[in-house]
Amino acid sequence: MSRPTRQSPERGGARSRLLEAARDVIRAKGFAATSVDDLCGAAAVTKGAFFHHFGSKEALGVAAAEFWAETTSGFFAAAPYHEPVDALQRVLAYVAFRKAIIVGELAQFTCLVGTMAQEVYATSPDIRDACGRSMFGHTATLEADIETARRERGIAGDWTAESLARHTQAVIQGGFVLAKAGNDPGLARESLDHLDRYIRHLFHVTEEDVDERNH
């Protein structure tokens, strides 16, 4: 069925098409429930191509997590939340941005590495670690802004920028879980409102303060 056309579009693109298919199909069905044939079908390539590029299904999982790390880091680096010159405003803009991109179908805005890590953490250490690198690599980029904001504003408190960055990620990931369980993206957005309120509290943001330096 739907044999890939001979003289198929861009020869050499099988690997990236498989990674894109993995990103989309695994987010919808999960890693274990996604078969190699599913991926080949979605990417319009044959099994020969699959095992030419990836030594095993597990190796594809690792590659998919790394692909996710690359593409998302590019996506977030190009996002507009970096614009404010004030570091705290960047942090709050990050949270607002994360909320703003929660639209449409669940499988399109949820996190590949969160989903995969949850599923394979005990059965595939390689995939788990690749997911961990992607996730904590991302939190590290936020951590820098949090740390800067803290210094700029002279904020004390018994918490670290690292832990707050990770907490932010936890709220996002947890929001995805609730959104899936309740079949309602609004549940993910809701938790980000609480996170926003919490961060404003940590940085003693008053009502008048809010638009003080808004890009």
Distance between CA atoms of 10 and 17, rounded to whole angstroms?
A: 10
What φ, ψ does residue 3 adopt, rounded to 5°?
-55, 135
What are the distances in angstroms from CA 156 to CA 31, 147, 149, 203? 42, 11, 11, 9
Length of the chain: 215
Distance between CA atoms of 110 and 93, rounded to whole angstroms?
A: 19
Binding segment for its own copies among 51-59, 85-93, 113-121, 143-151 (CB under 8 A)? Answer: 113-121
Binding mask 57-86 for DNA (x = CB under 7 A): xx----------------------------
Query: Binding to its own copies (CB under 8 A): which residues in 118-137?
Result: 118-123, 128-129, 131-132, 135-136
Hey, what are 153's tokens?
A: 């504003």
Size of the site for DNA (CB under 7 A): 27
Residues in Cβ contact with 213 at an 8 Å cutoff, skipping those fewer than 6 apart: 84, 85, 86, 89
Q: Which is nearer to DNA, 32 or 202 (CB)?
A: 32
Give the shortest CB-46-to-DNA separation in angstroms. 3
Binding segment for its own copies among 11-19, 85-93, 148-156, 179-187 (CB under 8 A)? Answer: 179-187
In the complex, which residues of this chain contact its own copies (CB under 8 A)? 28-30, 32-33, 106-107, 113-115, 117-123, 128-129, 131-132, 135-136, 159, 163-164, 166-167, 169-178, 180-183, 187-188, 190-191, 193-194, 197-198, 201-202
